[in-house]
Each structure stands twice: as C-alpha cells, then as structure tokens.
Amino acid sequence: MASSRPERQAPPEIYYNEEEAKKYTSNSRMIEIQQQLSERAVELLALPDDVPCFILDVGCGSGLSGECLTEQGHTWVGVDISRPMLDVAVERSAEGDLIHEDMGYGIPFRPGTFDGVISISALQWLCNADKKFHNPPKRLHKFFSTLYASMARGSRAVFQLYPENSRQLELITQQSMKAGFTGGLVVDYPNSTKAKKMYLCLFTGGAPQQLPQALGTGTERNENQIAFSDKRERLRNARGKSLKRSRDWIIEKKERRRRQGKQVRADTKYTGRKRGPKF
Ligand SMILES: C[S@@+](CC[C@H](N)C(=O)[O-])C[C@H]1O[C@@H](n2cnc3c(N)ncnc32)[C@H](O)[C@@H]1O
C-alpha cells in the first residue's frame, strides 16, 4: 500500500530519527535483507577480482551495505542525510568514512574518484519534493551529473531501488541518461511478489558494456533486462519531461498545482484520456 511507504511518511532526515535508526539496525530480518541486496549490488558492479577498490555508498544509513564492501576488501565512503543513521554506523564501528549530506545537492568529490558506486534502498527518496524549493527532476539531475563526474571512466553504479510507480522509474532513468550514463534495469525474480528486486545498473563511458543477467527469470533469453532506449528517444526525453498533454504530463502538472496548495480535481482513469473533436 502506497501510504505505508516510509517515503510517504516524512522527509528522510525526519523519518530516520534516533528511534527509527536503532529499530532499523536491531531488526535481524532487515539486516539479512539489506545484506543480501548489498551483496547482489556488489556482484553487479563486476569489480576486478582480488583488487581492492574505492567505492561510494549513497544513502549508506547505519552502514549495513558498507559492511558488505568491507568484507570484500574494499574501502568505502558513505553519504547519508540522516545524522541518527550515521551515528549508529559509528556505534557499529563502520569502517567507511561517513559524510552527512543530502545527495540531492550533488556528490562533492573530485573527478574520477570512485571505482564503483552502490546504493541500497535509497534512490527513490529523491523523487519526493519534501521542501517547497525541491524540484525532483533538478535534484536527480544534480545528483546524477555530479556522480558521473566523480566516477572513473568505465566504472559502474548499481542502485537497488523501490520506485513507487512507473513514473518515478522513468524520471530516474531519464535523468541518469541525461547525465551521460548508459545501462538499464536488471529485475531479479520478476515473477515473485516477495523476492522481486530492481537494480538500476549505470555505466560511465569507456568500452561498451552489456547489462548483467537477471536472477530467477526462468528463461534463457534475459527478458528482465531493460536497456536504455536509443539516442533519438534519449534526446526527446532529455529534458526529463513527459510529452506535452500526455496523461503523465497532466498528472505531473496536477501534482505541481497541489503542491502549490491549489484546488485540483482528483486523478481518475479518465485523466488525460484522448477526447474526440469538439463541435
Ligand atoms: C532504507 S535506508 C538504507 C540504508 C542502507 N543503504 C542499508 O542498506 O541499510 C535508506 C537511507 O537513505 C537515506 N537517504 C534518503 N534520502 C537521502 C538523501 N536525499 N541524501 C542522502 N541519503 C538519503 C536515508 O537517510 C536512509 O539512511
């Protein structure tokens, strides 16, 4: 149910308060899930064997995802907006350097710093406008363009994410492409409601790279990779906006007006439908 999503309840720096940060990191089921997601994300990074790398963990929280990097011999830096989550990471003796920072303001590192980037269950938060001046497409663009610059050419960024709907996913992928990334989505266990997991695998320039295989697809052909579309499509979508007067465009416009406190009719299945000519 959409309303039970943390992203719907409060901005991340408020939702992940002291109580939630402690609860999050003392729940053994949660720890197990985050560890599995992190291991898979690191696998999808396809780092060179036995070479310690320098990795960025975006939305590192209490360091559960970072632990997996440490275990595999990598050095990491974590960025998170919630001070209480970072405090728990310190209490748990996380080995990475921790930075208190809103990813929507961009990634403040020198060009080419990272050999890879992971982010577990965090990116969808950027689709929300929690403050009056927040503009999700602009925040996503700032994030992706600075991230791209901070990564070594030929490296990968893997985001495990929980988009609320297809519009969020489209917004995220459009903005990542606009920033110069290639790649696409890998959907593991697509036929299981519980096990299904989505990973956005992004590549910086360098030699062409193939999208990794999804798990649990049950088919030889990998139908659960969705590579980014061609350049023409990319250019058409480059501004991160939906086509004018399409259903998505109308819904976005209505959401914008609601945020401005204006009275707007509820969305229905008829919103944005094609209408016949007026006589
Ligand atoms: C579900 S937790 C995941 C934490 C960690 N990656 C893990 O696997 O345990 C999501 C994290 O994303 C962080 N987050 C959300 N929005 C953020 C933003 N704009 N900038 C930085 N971190 C953010 C939250 O504070 C929270 O710690």
Q: How far is the CA of 123 from the centre of ligand 1 (A)?
A: 8
Give the model's pLDDT for residue 243: 63
User: What average pLDDT does range 130-137 have in this prediction?
Assistant: 93
Between 27 and 225, the higher pLDDT residue: 27
Judge whether 146 and 153 are in contact, CB under 8 Å.
no
User: What average pLDDT does range 11-24 have in this prediction?
Assistant: 96
Amino acid sitting at position 173 = T
Give the model's pLDDT for residue 224: 65
- Calpha distance 127→175 (Å, rounded): 11
Q: How far is the CA of 155 from the centre of ligand 1 (A)?
A: 22
Give the model's pLDDT for residue 239: 47
pLDDT for residue 198 is more than 80: yes
| Atom 27 of ligand 1, nearest CA residue | 61
| Atom 25 of ligand 1, nearest CA residue | 82
Q: What are 239-279's pLDDT values in tens digits?
A: 445 566 778 778 878 887 887 788 888 888 888 877 766 55
- Calpha distance 242→171 (Å, rounded): 9
Helix 247-259, helix 166-178: angle, nearest 10: 90
pLDDT for residue 151 is more than 90: yes
pLDDT for residue 27 is more than 90: yes
**Domain map (residue ranges) of the chain:** 2-241, 242-274
| Atom 13 of ligand 1, nearest CA residue | 59
User: Ligand 1 pocket check: which of 9, 14, 16 to mutate, most ligand atoms within 8 Å of Cβ?
Assistant: 16
Give the model's pLDDT for residue 278: 56
CB hemisphere CA count around 62 (13 angstroms): 21
Burial 114-123 (b: 16+ CB within 10 A, else e): bbbbbbbbbb
- Looking at CATH, the fold of the domain delimited by 2-241 is given as Rossmann fold (3.40.50)
Q: How far is the CA of 80 from the centre of ligand 1 (A)?
A: 6
Using a 6 Å cutoff on CB, does residue 88 contact ligand 1?
no
Q: What are 60-113's pLDDT values in tens digits?
A: 999 999 999 999 999 999 999 999 999 999 999 999 999 999 999 999 999 999
Q: How far is the CA of 222 from the centre of ligand 1 (A)?
A: 30
Q: What is the average pLDDT score of the chain?
A: 89
pLDDT for residue 238 is more than 50: no
Using a 6 Å cutoff on CB, does residue 144 contact ligand 1?
no
User: What average pLDDT does range 140-157 have in this prediction?
Assistant: 97
| Atom 14 of ligand 1, nearest CA residue | 59
pLDDT for residue 128 is more than 90: yes
Q: What are 154-191's pLDDT values in tens digits?
A: 999 999 999 999 999 999 999 999 999 999 999 999 99
Judge whether 117 and 55 are in contact, CB under 8 Å.
yes
Q: How far is the CA of 240 from the centre of ligand 1 (A)?
A: 24
- Calpha distance 192→20 (Å, rounded): 28
Q: In 16-82, which ranges are continuous DSSP H helix?
A: 18-26, 28-45, 64-71
